[in-house]
Structure 1
């Protein structure tokens, strides 16, 4: 006798609801067992739907991981936005950006270790969600530098792209999940020292 599974029709709001259920269940499952050790069959069993039904919403385990990763990175950027919103000037915004990335990444590492692994996999395998996050961060740095130049805080001779890319590369060991796990011990101190060094180099 085959196992009976409830599989609602694919139409309207219910489709979004089922997608959300799959992502929620996958987030819990990955958080407990880890991304790489979990299969779509595991998720199907946990959710109560057939594997074939899950594939109607996501074409692979990575596609599910992409959504979870994008959600986690969006949460991280919300923390960054909240920490930098009230900064009085571009210099302080840049300093708070660095600290927020380190603190947010470290918090995810220590409190959601299995989900942190998804971010690490996404970075290592160059998932679109990770690439978009990197590009978003580069554009944010570029905007801060532009605002600092307009206010007279930063020098204006070096091409903007070079400055933004250079700062991003300095931040990368503490903003990239794969690299951060090897730099956790000195991350808070590094964020403070390196942001100070960056600001000195940007002085007019």
Structure 2
């Protein structure tokens, strides 16, 4: 089998390769200092000490490198969400935990790791596969919680579930979407809690 067959999200070559991880780590550091938008593959090559052609053996573009960083970040975030949600004893508690965890993780990145925050914001703005996959995972988890709530009698059953899931996610966008959070920081920490309370009241049978 040919190891140079292109992998998903613009990655090339063997998936498990130390150079690939080295490029991702070095690119992350470079982005943290100069920003994703202002960095070119040539800038990365010079900073890392590899030739531009060598970097292209592993990634077909700067976006592919950003995708790798963003995918890791979002996977870590969802692992936290999944873990905390699983600890909820009811659908109501699980819904609260979902948005508490998601909002806390987004806010933490804004203040503690702008590199990851900015790359994730690019992912959302440009509709990268990593961002779309993340959205689909959130929708699936929220739908699971809603179904649990309906089966237990906690939530109403009249609203079509796909419409309900979209509405809930839309209501939380100001605090979970990195493109919007920066404009709503003055509403923390009460804003997300008030929205979740309103959502839960609207779900009462």
TM-score, length of structure 1 as denominator length: 0.90
Residues 174 and 184 in structure 2, CA contact (< 8 A), matched pair in contact too:
yes
Please give the root-mean-square deviation of Cα atoms over the aligned residues, in Å: 1.7
Deviation at 1:145, TM superposition (A): 0.2
Q: Which residue of 1 aligns with 2:26?
A: 25
What is the rounded CA distance, in whole Å, between the counterparts of 1:115 and 1:150 in structure 2?
38
Deviation at 1:185, TM superposition (A): 2.0
Q: Partner of 1:16 in structure 2? A: 17
Q: Does 1:197 align with 2:188?
A: no
Query: Could you tell me which residue of structure 2 aligns to residue 104 of structure 1?
Result: 105
For residues 108-146 of structure 1, the C-alpha deviation after alignment (integer angstroms, 9 at most, x for no partner) is: 000111321111111111111111111211111111101
Matches of 1:203 and 1:166, distance apart in 2:
16
- What is the total number of aligned residue pairs between the two structures? 194
Q: Matches of 1:165 and 1:12 in 2, distance apart? A: 38
| Structure 2 length-normalised TM | 0.89
Q: How does 1:98-177 map to 2 (within 5 A)?
A: 98-177=99-178
Does the C-alpha gap of structure 1 residues 105 and 11 become closer, same or farther in structure 2, counting only changes over 3 Å?
closer
Aligned position for 1:46: 47
Q: Which runs of 5+ in 1 are unaligned?
A: 1-9
- Kept after mapping to 1: 8 A contact 2:13/2:57: no
Deviation at 1:12, TM superposition (A): 6.2
